Amino acid sequence: MASWNSSLGDGTDRGVNRRTVLKGVGAGAIAGVGLTGTASAHRVRGEPVFCGCDRLCVCVEGNADVLVARETDDGGYEVGFLVGDGEIDPYPTGEPRYSGDFCVSTESEGIPDGQIIGLQVAGTRWVNPNECAQAALEAEREQLDSTHERPAGESGDACGSPPCDDDGGGIEVTWEDCETVSVTGSGEGLDEIIFHPLRCFPGDGPCPDGVPGGRNIENPTLPLTIDHRYLAVDDDVPYYIAGIELRGDVEQDTFGKPNSLDCGFETDDIEITFEDCETVTLSGPDEDLEKIELYLVRCFEDPGEGCPDGQIVTRENPDLPLTLGRDELAVGDEVYRIDAVDLFGDVTPDDATPPDDLDCSFDTGEDIDVTFEDCETVTLTGDDTDLDGIDVYYQRCFEDPGEGCPDGAQATFENPTLPLTIGRNELATGDEQIRIDGVDLIGDVTPDDATPPEDFDCRFE
């Protein structure tokens, strides 16, 4: 049986395979290398060997999951990965169960009765080529969401030991961190190591910036640690190693930085600063900036013109730095705010919104302000010209159970004069407990109703 732990981290992608695409100047420097992210740090050496549907032997650098199927009462199959004693999971999380070179059998302790139909290593799902597995694999394709590569493994008769005991080992490439890679193993047949750094020069320098062709180390002696000593840049230049190439008579010739290792650095071309709700400033290189669109929300005093009212303002081929405010946006005296900025062209970022701590809300033209002072009292203020009436809905709780608790009631105030506070006296209640559940406003006014805030606890004793 294999070790249940792994020193390489979780490198198996059991769901839909997603690949990160490098963007910028540096991408061209490594485009021809064929780097494959985590798939290169976790791989099968040779091919897995499936003996029927009850045994599997394989040589793995990194981590792996075993895919099994067991028959259901209706003649179908339940498909998933081995995750524990007798347990399978179609979409497991956490570290894969197996690592290194191993064999597994349905006769082993903790393995459920069923069929071994596949092996998942990083972005590759090896499938059992034997006839006994084909019906279960058809069920697997229907049940599991996957776009993985699906090479067939080898069909074998002897699955007593991994098919790699005599291969003499290989070369292991491990990212210690974003800036450091260790190359270990047998250096026999290794003529050259090429590593591909991506750099980010401060100020107006390129970011990201690749090294065309990479940097090379000839006739390396293993073990070898590749770090800043081989990069030959100033200490203040951030970088990370995106990929490694091995040249010579070696089993695998390319390794990509694991996707789980977050090595990005800030690469924004344009800096966008919201000075206030009405003003935004853009600065940075404008060579590739084709257009700016600003999304405004305005609030006119005349209800017929709208509040809120949306508007888009466009600036073609702008020169930076550029500050856009009331004058530049050609708005009038109305209240407005900038809700978002979109940038067009080969620039980053491509959009921006005001920071969360910038409160840009404005009066939306409501005539009446309804304030719940407490559970029993509400105050209304504002323009009462078009206010025809107020309906107050409240609940009462009498001590005598025969009178009701709760007991609903309604009070109406016609042609009210504001400001007006409505409480126990105005509602003509006695000593019973009360709470106001809602207020309706009658007439050509806004809002037309209101309820207490959610943080009010107005339950009766």
Digitized pLDDT (tens) for each residue of the chain, 461 residues in all: 332 222 233 444 444 322 222 223 333 333 333 333 333 457 787 888 999 999 999 888 888 899 999 999 888 999 999 887 778 888 887 778 888 888 888 888 778 888 999 999 887 899 999 999 999 999 998 888 777 788 898 888 777 778 775 443 478 888 888 888 998 887 778 889 988 888 777 665 666 777 777 788 888 888 888 888 777 666 677 888 888 888 887 766 777 777 777 776 655 578 889 999 889 999 888 888 999 999 888 877 665 566 667 788 899 999 989 999 888 876 777 788 888 899 998 887 888 888 888 877 765 445 788 999 999 999 999 888 889 999 999 988 887 766 777 788 899 999 999 999 999 888 877 888 899 999 999 988 888 888 998 888 888 77
| Residue 317 confidence (pLDDT) | 92
CA distance 43 to 55: 20
Question: Greatest CA separation found in the chain?
Answer: 98
Please state the separation of Cα 143 from the chain's center in Å: 24
- Both structure tokens of 235: 């200490």
Q: Give the residue extent of every domain in the chain.
A: 27-155, 171-256, 271-352, 368-450
CA distance 423 to 435: 10
- Both structure tokens of 256: 């990509």
Least Cα distance to 194 among 261, 254, 257 occurs for 254
Contact call for residues 159 and 57 (beta carbons, < 8 A) = yes
Contact call for residues 197 and 215 (beta carbons, < 8 A) = yes
| Residue 34 confidence (pLDDT) | 35
Write out the DSSP string of 170-191: -EEEEEEETTEEEEEE--TTEE
CA distance 172 to 396: 77
Q: Which residue has the tokens 């294999």?
A: 2
What does the radius of gyration of the chain's CA atoms come to, in whole angstroms?
35
- Both structure tokens of 129: 């080529």
Contact call for residues 398 and 405 (beta carbons, < 8 A) = yes
| Residue 420 confidence (pLDDT) | 94
Strands 49-51 and 154-155: parallel
| Residue 127 confidence (pLDDT) | 92
| Residue 19 confidence (pLDDT) | 24
- Per residue in 43-95, pLDDT (tens digit) is 787 888 999 999 999 888 888 899 999 999 888 999 999 887 778 888 887 77
Least Cα distance to 429 among 408, 401, 450, 449 occurs for 408
CA distance 200 to 202: 6
Contact call for residues 136 and 69 (beta carbons, < 8 A) = yes
Give all strands (DSSP E) within 346-448, no chain letters: 351-352, 368-374, 377-382, 387-397, 407-414, 420-422, 433-443
CA distance 144 to 127: 14
CA distance 127 to 53: 11
Strands 180-185 and 224-226: antiparallel
Residue 380: φ, ψ to 5°: -120, 130
Least Cα distance to 165 among 259, 68, 59 occurs for 59
Strand order in the sheet with 55-58: 102-105, 55-58, 49-51, 154-155
Strand order in the sheet with 171-177: 171-177, 180-185, 224-226
Side chain identity, residue 427? L
Q: How many CB atoms lie within 10 A of CB 62?
A: 27
| Residue 14 confidence (pLDDT) | 45
Contact call for residues 65 and 10 (beta carbons, < 8 A) = no
| Residue 92 confidence (pLDDT) | 83
Q: How many CB atoms lie within 10 A of CB 350?
A: 12
pTM of the predicted structure, to 2 decimals = 0.35
Write out the DSSP string of 254-319: EEE--TTS-------S-EEEEEETTEEEEES--TTEEEEEEEEEEE-SSGGG-SSEEEEEEEES--
Q: Which residues contact 402 (CB under 8 A, 6 or more apart)?
A: none
Q: How many CB atoms lie within 10 A of CB 329?
A: 18
First vs last C-alpha separation in the chain: 65
Collapsing DSSP to helix, strand or coil, 181 comes out as strand
